A = this chain, B = another copy of it.
């Protein structure tokens, strides 16, 4: 199949380009390298040494005997999006090209506005370009489990049937997201659902859990193929950050009580799931939702797993909770469904500790990159609008 990846220079996008090519998909993609700028703006950098796109493309060609069609451009530019899609005529468009950080969106009004405009306009442009240039293609859109928030009931996959005052109806499950960034994913979901309804667009909206990992097998031992790995407060997700901390002997830092529960999955499983979605498109006009994660853990359980593996590798690691810079429930019910991908053949990697071991070994090679920027590990972007470093509890 022909797959277009929006955001192909990112953590997931770059990885997916290899994963799909190794499975005989023809891949094209675009990026504007904004993720590199955002991380730099926050005073950080990728722990893994990521190459410029020119070098990435050379390495890609050498390793896969197949070129990757890359175009630089901004998803907010409709003509660019239309031209990409019209010329490539993809069967599937995987939209990973959004600003993905909750703290970044909470910096101030300008970051909130940038995040919402960037994400919403990119998705609106893709939907309109699909309608105009390839109405039968399949949009695989990266959302987040964070769209749902943490309601005190089970979380279905996108929709639920309920009875209310004696009448029954299948309705979208209400969204209660926890940052301006997470809200953009909610807005996108509503916009996409509407486009499917009026234009017959087919879409899979991925409510993804927290991804962790430094590699997939397809990267082989070619360092030029490595994907980025962020550990700063804005772009580093919890488990990736814990691993970066472990490697430099920094305490692992759950926020608040550390009992926040989330769904997690390794990078290789995220690739597997996205590929399953691509290989099994929905029917015309269908808007379907996949909750994409392997297992639910609380943050402290994960910190303990990292600690255990780190100690095995001879690293000295303690866990010290930080004040929570966010406004979120720290101890709550959490029971989301995740059947749709399993029904389509998803085989989860159950060995989290093995994955953590690979990560810690990989990151040890790049320890000095983390040490050089270790001040970015402690958050200072608070949900109450103030800006100062949180303290250990």
A-side residues, CB < 8 A to B, are 78, 108-110, 112-113, 116-117, 120-121, 124-125, 128-129, 131-132, 151-154, 160, 162-165, 167-169, 171-180, 183, 186-187, 190-191, 193-194, 197-199, 327, 333, 383-385
B327 touches A197 (CB 8 A): yes
Nearest-CB residue, chain B, relative to A76: B113
B198 touches A190 (CB 8 A): no
- Contact between chains at A78 and B172 (CB < 8 Å): no
Instruction: Say yes or no: B172 contacts A172, CB within 8 Å.
Output: no
A112 touches B124 (CB 8 A): yes
Q: Do B160 and A153 touch across chains, with their CB atoms under 8 A apart?
A: no
Distance A129 CA – B172 CA, assembled complex (angstroms): 32
A158 to chain B, nearest CB (A): 11
Min CB gap A381→B, angstroms: 13
Cβ–Cβ contact B191 & A167, under 8 A:
no
Residues in B whose Cβ lies below 8 Å from that of A124: 109, 112-113, 116, 180
* Residue of A124, A131, A160, A177 with highest tally of chain B CB at under 10 A: A124
Residue of B whose beta carbon sits closest to that of A115: B124
Among B151, B165, B169, B183, the residue within 8 A (CB) of A194 is B183
Q: Give the residue of B154, B167, B169 whose beta carbon is less than 8 angstroms from that of A165.
A: B154
Decide: A121 and B110 in contact? CB cutoff 8 A: no
Question: Looking across the interface, which residue of chain B has its beta carbon closest to that of A109?
Answer: B128
Q: List 15 A-B contacts (CB under 8 A).
A: A109-B129, A113-B121, A117-B121, A124-B180, A131-B385, A153-B164, A153-B165, A162-B164, A171-B174, A172-B174, A176-B193, A178-B194, A186-B190, A197-B327, A198-B383
Q: How far is the CB of A161 from chain B (nearest CB, A)?
A: 9
Contact (Cβ within 8 A) B384 A198: yes
* A177 contacts B194, C-beta separation under 8 Å: yes
Residues of B within 8 A of A327 (CB): 197-198
A153 touches B174 (CB 8 A): no
For the complex, what is the distance from the CA of A175 to the CA of B163, rounded to whole Å? 17
A110 to B193, CA, bound (A): 19
Known interface pairs A109-B125, A163-B163; 5 further A-B residue pairs with C-beta atoms within 8 A, sorted by A's residue number: A108-B128, A153-B167, A162-B162, A177-B194, A183-B194
Query: In chain B, what residue has the closest Cβ to A383?
Result: B198
Q: List, in ascending order, chain B residues with CB within 8 A of A191's CB.
A: 116, 180, 183
In the complex, A162 Cα to B169 Cα: how many Å?
12
Q: Which residues of B contact A116 (CB under 8 A)?
A: 120-121, 124, 191
Contact in complex: B172, A153 (CB < 8 Å): no
A174 and B171 alpha carbons, distance in the complex (Å): 7
CB <8 Å contact, A384 and B199:
yes
Cα(A151)–Cα(B170), bound, Å: 9
Question: Whole-angstrom distance between the alpha carbons of A190 and B177 in the complex?
Answer: 8
Q: Is the CB of A167 within 8 A of B194?
A: no
Instruction: State which of B109, B152, B383 has its C-beta within 8 Å of the C-beta of A169.
Output: B152
**CB within 8 Å for A151 and B171 given contacts A128-B109, A198-B384:** yes
Question: Which B residues are CB-close (under 8 A) to A175?
Answer: 172, 190
Which B residue sits closest to A131, measured CB to CB?
B385
CB of A103, distance to nearest CB on chain B (Å): 13
User: What residues on B are CB-neighbors of A153 within 8 Å?
Assistant: 162, 164-165, 167-169, 171
- A128 contact from B112, B125, B165, B190, Cβ within 8 A: B112
Q: Is the CB of A385 within 8 A of B194?
A: no
Q: A112 CA to B305 CA in the complex, in Å?
A: 47
